[in-house]
């Protein structure tokens, strides 16, 4: 129940656009009332907003604007940025393919130990990412539980490869998607699916034709969360996939290493990453709005 409310809160603002049609009246109604925002809510809200935005503002103020052009034209930066975008998108795709069915299983299927499984799914959220990276090495590394067979049978080694980056990012980002989708599934009325089934649809057809369109907003919101998390991933990536320019060095890794001897460059690189992610997120949001 708490999980439901929590994820509802998390997805709420993002799912807004899809529900806008249904809510227009109420929103128009609330528009008049909004002038009287209670101070008990407004003050902490503004404090919260300032707390989130001030560090970013400081980053902008202290940015080495004069050396920006030079940085932005360096091939290493573009390489890292390109790799970041590709890997984060691939990790989101992986999360969608296995994460949505997993969320469905947790929300709709009855099986013993479901609560435990749900708790386990969220573990990567609390696990320090560096530990996550070590765990991935122990599972998929050259000498890992599964990795040694991958190596022996197919000659596949995952550490130090771009695939390894995608894997590390998916490991850290997928729980965000699963939680978001599961919350939406719980809020969605199961009677639609039941009705589809009584009309002869198989359970999978009902999922594909009824459930999936119904929960699309939650899936999209979860995908955005997962993408954003994957884009900023550092600990698991550098531990599992290492750091090699063009192959596994994503932007957060480049930023961290620049921080060691050239903090100004690190600030500039972070700004590039921030600008790109804001641009992508804003563009996606616009598309969804017009689509709905």
User: What residues line the site for other proteins (CB under 8 A)?
Assistant: 134, 137-138, 141-143, 159-160, 238-239, 241-245, 248-249, 253, 256-258, 260-262
Report in angstroms how near the CB of residue 135 gets to other proteins at its nearest.
11
| Pick 42 or 138: Cβ nearer other proteins | 138
Q: The tokens 């090495």 sit on which residue?
A: 137
| Pick 136 or 206: Cβ nearer other proteins | 136
Tokens linked to 97:
């393919």
- For the chain, how many residues are written? 292
Give the Cα separation of 127 and 175 in Å (integer): 12
Report in angstroms how near the CB of residue 55 gets to other proteins at its nearest.
15
Q: How many Cβ atoms from other residues are within 10 Å of residue 244's Cβ?
A: 12
Contacts of 28 (CB under 8 A, 6+ apart): none
Report in angstroms how near the CB of residue 272 gets to other proteins at its nearest.
18
Report in angstroms how near the CB of residue 205 gets to other proteins at its nearest.
45
| Pick 165 or 215: Cβ nearer other proteins | 165
Sign of CA dihedral 145, 120, 99, 248: negative
| Pick 213 or 263: Cβ nearer other proteins | 263
Report in angstroms how near the CB of residue 66 gets to other proteins at its nearest.
22
| Pick 2 or 260: Cβ nearer other proteins | 260
Give the Cα separation of 122 and 176 in Å (integer): 8
């Amino acid at each position: 129940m708490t999980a439901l409310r929590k994820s509802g809160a998390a997805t709420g603002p993002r799912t807004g656009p899809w529900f806008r049609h249904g809510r227009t009246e109420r929103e128009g109604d609330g528009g008049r009332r909004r002038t009287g925002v209670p101070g008990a809510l407004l003050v902490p809200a503004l404090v919260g907003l300032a707390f989130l935005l001030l560090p970013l503002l400081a980053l902008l103020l202290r940015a080495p604007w004069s050396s920006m052009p030079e940085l932005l034209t360096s091939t290493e930066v573009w390489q890292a940025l390109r790799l970041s975008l590709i890997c984060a998108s691939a990790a989101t795709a992986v999360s969608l393919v296995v994460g949505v069915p997993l969320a469905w299983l947790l929300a709709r299927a009855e099986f013993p130990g479901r609560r435990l499984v749900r708790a386990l799914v969220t573990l990567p959220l609390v696990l320090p990412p560096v530990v996550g990276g070590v765990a991935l090495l122990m599972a998929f590394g050259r000498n890992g539980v599964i990795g040694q067979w991958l190596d022996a049978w197919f000659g596949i080694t995952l550490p130090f490869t771009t695939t390894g980056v995608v894997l590390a990012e998916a490991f850290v980002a997928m729980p965000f998607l699963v939680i978001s989708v599961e919350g939406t599934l719980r809020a969605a009325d199961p009677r639609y699916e039941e009705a589809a089934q009584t009309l002869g649809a198989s359970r999978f057809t009902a999922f594909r034709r009824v459930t999936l369109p119904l929960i699309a907003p939650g899936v999209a919101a979860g995908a955005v969360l997962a993408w954003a998390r994957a884009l900023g991933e550092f600990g698991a990536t550098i531990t599992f996939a290492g750091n090699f320019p063009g192959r596994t060095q994503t932007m957060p890794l480049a930023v961290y290493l620049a921080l060691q001897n050239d903090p100004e460059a690190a600030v500039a690189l972070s700004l590039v990453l921030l600008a790109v992610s804001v641009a992508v997120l804003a563009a996606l949001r616009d598309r969804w709005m017009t689509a709905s």
